[in-house]
Amino acid sequence: MILKDKNVIVGVTASISAYKACELVRALQKDGATVRVALTPRAREFVGEMTFKALTGEEVLWDWRSGKTSLEHIYWARWADAFAIAPVSANTLAKLRFGMADNFLTTLALAYDKPIVLAPAMNTKMFENVATQENLKALSERGHIIVDPACGELACGEEGAGKLADVEDIKTAILYAIFEKPLKGKKVLITAGGTREFFDPIRYISNNSSGKLGHELAKWAYILGADKVYLVSAPTCERKPYCVERYTVNSADEMYQKVMEFVDDVDVIIMNAAVADFKPTSYSSKKLKKDSQELTITLEPNVDILNELGKRKKEGQILIGFAAETEDLEKNAVQKLKKKNLDAIVANKTEVFSSDVFSGKIIFKDGSILEIPPIPKDEAAYRILKEIFSKIR
């Protein structure tokens, strides 16, 4: 579990979206974190402390007098590895900007000496108000992490910005606040998913890659400090990672063209996509009818994107490949690493496609090998990046 032995405080202010803080608490616990909840007095009118106490098994505070001592705000601040306020109201944002400490949560925020994750939720007009925007700008300039609200239907029935950000995005921002930044100063390009090679408007040749690991790699590249993360993905059901620029392509040719747009501007390239090796030699602009019992499709080789990247790799650029094999995993991966001028290659059996679990090997160009046991793909993505950049640095 990625947050094992980590302590997180979730602050909750008065907002109709306060109920989503329960989801955030559970998501953090699922990743292994110990969670404590601090409420503003008015937040208790939306979700009571008993709910959070039942979820966390921890003491829930909303007033100095509700704690064991009058110094709980100091003890909690020192205990926490991360502190998020989700939702944070316009009123609390103003208090945080000007250092007011008129309740337990705002006093705790003053005692906490690291960046706080702030996820605003309010009416669109309140969010767009000059005062709120100035408060957010000032807090961001101090180093706090602002998770912008989503657009959608609000509790008042209006449409616009102000809806609490997705719980997954808030959790990603919390991970960003916790983990070290080995990719700081780097621009990273990652590919994901299985490309599609169409032979008529609705039919294509592809593979069963879900794109999940590639999306997790992009998410973790951001968490580990990359200045910019570009994700070029074949069609997938995976949601766009927080703070990542995603470009969707279909075919190998489209992926090649998009990758080449970024190649000279990035420091790290991770080719996780399952790119089709072949494509149909012809394409029908009309749906092919079932006029006979047989259909013959002639194939021709696709461009080898990884090979092209290896040829034009510039000095200091890091190129990571992936190898999915049914047999001779290590042998085939080593051959691919050498042939395509890679710094490292991640080798795995094809069974990990469309699975939430990953296992495999990281093989470095110096011949060293690191095993990755079966673990969830989000943890695997973190470990792959951590191990590769720990060794390469």
Q: Is residue 156 annotated as part of the catalytic site, yes or no?
A: yes
The span from the CA of 131 to the CA of 89, in Å, is: 13
Q: What is the CA radius of gyration of the chain?
A: 24
Q: How much of the chain is helix, strand and coil, in % rounded to 5?
A: 35, 25, 40
Q: Give strand pairing partners of 322.
A: 346
Which residue, among 177, 239, 213, has the nearest Cα to 382 in the 3D structure? 213
Which residue, among 239, 242, 220, has the nearest Cα to 148 in the 3D structure? 242
- Distance, first Cα to last Cα, the chain: 26
Q: Give strand pairing partners of 325.
A: 349
> How do 369-376 and 357-364 pair as beta strands?
antiparallel
The span from the CA of 18 to the CA of 49, in Å, is: 12
Q: Provide the token pair at 241.
A: 């990672």
The span from the CA of 149 to the CA of 43, in Å, is: 19
For residue 213, give the DSSP letter.
Answer: H
Provide the sign of the torsion angle of the four alpha carbons 336, 340, 343, 349, taken in this order: negative
Query: What is the arrangement of strands in the sheet containing 117-120, beginning at the earlier edge strand?
Result: 34-39, 7-12, 82-88, 117-120, 145-146
Catalytic-labelled residue, pool 22, 151, 156, 237: 156
| Entry field: residues in the chain | 393
Q: CB burial class (10 A; 0-12, 13-18, 19+) of residue 65?
A: exposed
Dihedral of CA atoms 218, 224, 228, 230 in degrees, nearest 10, equals: -10
Dihedral of CA atoms 382, 385, 388, 390 in degrees, nearest 10, equals: -80
> How do 318-325 and 344-349 pair as beta strands?
parallel
The span from the CA of 391 to the CA of 120, in Å, is: 39
Neighbours of 249 (CB within 10 A): 21
Residues with a catalytic annotation lie at: 156
